[in-house]
Structures are given as C-alpha cells and as structure tokens.
Amino acid sequence: MFKFLSGLFSRDIGIDLGSSNTVVYVKGRGIVIDEPSVLAVRKVGMKGRKDIIAFGSPAKRMIGKTPQGIVTIRPMQHGVIADFDMTEQMVGHYMSEANQGRRLMAHPRVAICVPAGVTEVEKRAVVDATLGAGAREAFVVEEPLAAALGTGLPINEPRGNMVVDIGGGTSEVAVLSLGGVVLSSSLRAAGDDIDSAIISMMRQNYTLSIGESTAEEVKSQIGSVIPLDEELEMEVKGRDLMDGLPKVVIVTSGEVRDAIETIICRIEDMLRYAVEQTPPELVKDIVDQGFVLTGGSSQLRGLNVRFSDAINVPVHMAEQPLFSVALGLGKLLETVDRGDKIAVTVDHSSV
Ligand SMILES: Nc1ncnc2c1ncn2[C@@H]1O[C@H](COP(=O)(O)OP(=O)(O)OP(=O)(O)O)[C@@H](O)[C@H]1O
Ligand SMILES: [Mg+2]
C-alpha cells in the first residue's frame, strides 16, 4: 500500500553523477539541477563529525579558500565513488531539491549512470548510495549508452554508432548497435588531469603556485590542442614558490598545449584501440556517419579536429555536451513507460 502511494507521489528521475558535475532530470520536467559535485564540510569535535555547510556552486567557490576546520570534498573521482557518505548526502540533497523539498513525500525511482568498465563493487556502491539517499528503486545505466541516447544517436538501429565522452574524471568511448553496447573503453584521464598538468607546468616554468580553480580558468580561456591561427595569452596570478610572494605571469596557449599533450595522446590511443576492436561492418557505418563528441572537456579548442584526424573519421559535436548523459537518462525515463521498444539493458535494485 505504502509503495503504491509513494509511486503516485514520486517522479522518476535520472541522475548523471559525474566527477565534476551532477545533473538531474525529472520525468515530465526535464533538467532541473546542474551543480558541481562538490560539498563543503566543517569538521566538528575530536571524533571528526562532519557538518555539511554547502553543496554545489557555493561549495565549489570555496575550493582552495577555506579556513582551518572547513574542507571542500569532491566525493566522485574518476567517475567512481571516493567518499561514500558524502556521495550519499549529495545525492540525497539533489534528489530532495529535484522534488522541490518534499523529501518525505517522494521516494523516486532513479536511473543513475556509471562509467563503462567499472567493477561490480564500484557499481554496487553507486546503487547503495542512491538507495541510502532515499530512492525507492535504482537502475544503473552505462554512461556511454545514456550519452549516445542524449545526443540523439539512433542506437536501436542495426548500425554502428560511436560516442566519445570526455568529462572531468573519465574519458569514454563506446560503439553501440541494436540498443546495446558492442564495446566500450574508459580511461581515468580527462579534465581534472588537464588541470593538474597546467598546475605542474606553472610550477616548473614559472615557479608559480596556482590552485585548481585558476588552472580550470586557464584551460577554458586559452586551452587548445591544435595550433591556433592567433595564439592566445592570459595573465595568471599566484604565489611565487621561491620567495612566497604574489606574482603575475603571462602564459600562452602554446605552453598550455605542450603541458597537456601527453593526456590528449593517451585519449587518442584509447580511441584508436576502440576502432581496432570494432567489427568491420560497424566500422564501415562509423566511417560513413562519423562519431559524436560530448562531455564538458569536449569544448577544449581543437579537440574535435585532433580526434577526427586520429581515427580518420568525421566528428559531430554534441549540442549540449554537459547535458548529454542526463538527457539520455531522461529519454529512457520518458520512453520506458510508453512501452516503446528500447532494447537497453539496465541493472535494477530496490529497497
Ligand atoms: N570550455 C571548456 N573548455 C575545456 N574544458 C571545459 C570547458 N568547460 C568545462 N570544461 C571541463 O569539463 C569537465 C566537466 O565535464 P562533465 O560535466 O562532462 O564531467 P563529469 O560528467 O562531471 O565527469 P565524468 O563523466 O568524467 O565523471 C571539467 O573538467 C571542466 O573543467
Ligand atoms: Mg560525465
């Protein structure tokens, strides 16, 4: 009886629980939450109790600026749970926000993504965190499958569809046909590693210490992976490691490009390997139709050109690279109850 009632009041939701951003789709309403996957906590007492003082954007703004006793936490790292309790709290908070605060009224059914190639234990942790956060049922969907659906690829047709998702913590490639993943590969190197490479470069070239947020700003403003017609430059402020004093330096897009080249090469290798493993009939389709590039880091200048050259296939940029996965989950939620034929396999757990 209770389950029946809660079914009436709750809405099905889809959660893209990313290393950098959490995006929530509510059935019938669309995307309602798009927030960084960050929390700020205050440590209380000797036992190390943690009081959460901020979620999402306000917490992200605190990164690198917190006083003693307050820390910022990114509970998802490289697409998997690094801090279970904090992930559960964060998912619970966003689920309740998506329900417009009616926490007790609704125990939604939740479709949630995990990167391709995670272990069963890592997958189980995501399910447990979702159920612990108040979901009635949890459906696990492979991230590339949701990304492909969200970018509008006709994944149910008997044809090779290729999607490449470069996020914050993981880079993924998948080939899909007839509603299923034919092959997928995932690399724990993406936007976060690019930020780290920029931090190291600033340290080595200029003895300048900068934080994660500044590195991300440098990447977005002047980052590129191909030579630009007009190279860019930017003023970067930080602390000089030699004398500990503030310092301002001018950094060029060329320097940033050199610093991140190794990471881009590793992702290109993954793409080449995926194509090598793809059955020839599907490769033929991919050569004809190209592949779709999505994920926040796909916005890095020239990445489409680099990847297209690396595997000799045309590339299409996703219209909403930060939302592809959540939109794909939304499509699943919207179509499943209509009884449309959508031959995807999902793992399912309920409380
Ligand atoms: N304009 C831009 N240029 C380059 N990188 C960008 C830009 N905008 C956002 N990013 C990067 O995109 C990444 C976040 O992308 P996204 O939200 O797709 O990741 P995620 O889904 O949270 O992570 P993952 O799927 O890897 O777990 C961050 O590393 C961010 O710095
Ligand atoms: Mg993602």
In degrees and rounded to multiples of 5, residue 16 shows phi and psi of -95, 100
Q: Is the CB of 144 under 6 A from ligand 1?
A: no
219, 221, 225, 253, best to mutate for ligand 1 pocket (most atoms within 8 Å of CB): 219
Q: What class has domain 2-35+80-146+324-350? A: alpha beta
Atom number in ligand 1 closest to CA 143:
25
Which residues, other chains included, contact 180 with Cβ-Cβ below 8 Å and sequence gap of 6+?
145, 343, 344, 345
Q: Is the CB of 171 under 6 A from ligand 1?
A: no
Q: Rounded distance, CA 344 to CA 145, Å?
A: 8
Q: What is the CATH number of domain 191-259?
A: 3.90.640.10
Q: Locate tokens 């080249």: which residue? A: 261
Give 10-13's long-range contacts (Cβ < 8 A, gap of 24+): 10/99, 10/105, 10/106, 10/107, 10/108, 10/109, 10/136, 11/98, 11/99, 11/106, 11/108, 12/108, 12/109, 12/110, 12/111, 12/333, 13/95, 13/98, 13/108, 13/109, 13/110, 13/111, 13/333
pLDDT score at 10:
56
Helices 253-277, 303-311: crossing angle, 10 deg rounding: 40
pLDDT score at 116:
86
Give the closest ligand to the alpha carbon of residue 168. Answer: 1
Q: Rounded distance, CA 191 to CA 100, Å?
A: 31
Give the closest ligand to the alpha carbon of residue 170. Answer: 1
Q: Which two tokens stand for residue 321?
A: 């690279």
Q: Is the CB of 22 under 6 A from ligand 1?
A: no
21, 80, 192, 304, best to mutate for ligand 1 pocket (most atoms within 8 Å of CB): 21
Give the closest ligand to the alpha carbon of residue 318. Answer: 1
pLDDT score at 343:
41
Ligand 1 centroid, distance to 169 Cα (angstroms): 8
pLDDT score at 46:
72
Q: Is the CB of 59 under 6 A from ligand 1?
A: no
Closest residue by Cα to residue 318 from 287, 291, 288 = 291
Whole-model pTM: value is 0.93
Give the closest ligand to the alpha carbon of residue 328. Answer: 2
Give the closest residue (by CA) to ligand 1 atom 15. Answer: 296
Q: What is the CATH number of domain 152-189+261-317?
A: 3.30.420.40
Ligand 2 centroid, distance to 46 Cα (angstroms): 36
Q: What is the pLDDT along the chain (351 residues), one digit of tens a residue?
A: 344 444 444 579 999 999 999 999 999 999 999 999 999 999 887 777 889 999 999 999 999 999 999 999 999 999 999 999 999 999 999 999 998 756 545 688 999 998 888 899 999 999 999 999 999 999 999 999 999 999 999 999 999 999 999 999 999 999 999 989 999 999 999 999 999 999 999 999 999 999 999 999 999 999 999 999 999 999 999 999 999 999 999 999 999 999 999 999 999 999 999 999 999 999 999 999 999 999 999 999 999 999 999 999 999 999 999 999 999 999 999 886 554 444 444 556 665
Ligand 2 centroid, distance to 258 Cα (angstroms): 25
pLDDT score at 256:
98
Ligand 2 centroid, distance to 19 Cα (angstroms): 7
CATH code 3.90.640.10 region(s) in the chain: 191-259
CATH code 3.30.420.40 region(s) in the chain: 2-35+80-146+324-350, 152-189+261-317
Q: Rounded distance, CA 223 to CA 301, Å?
A: 6
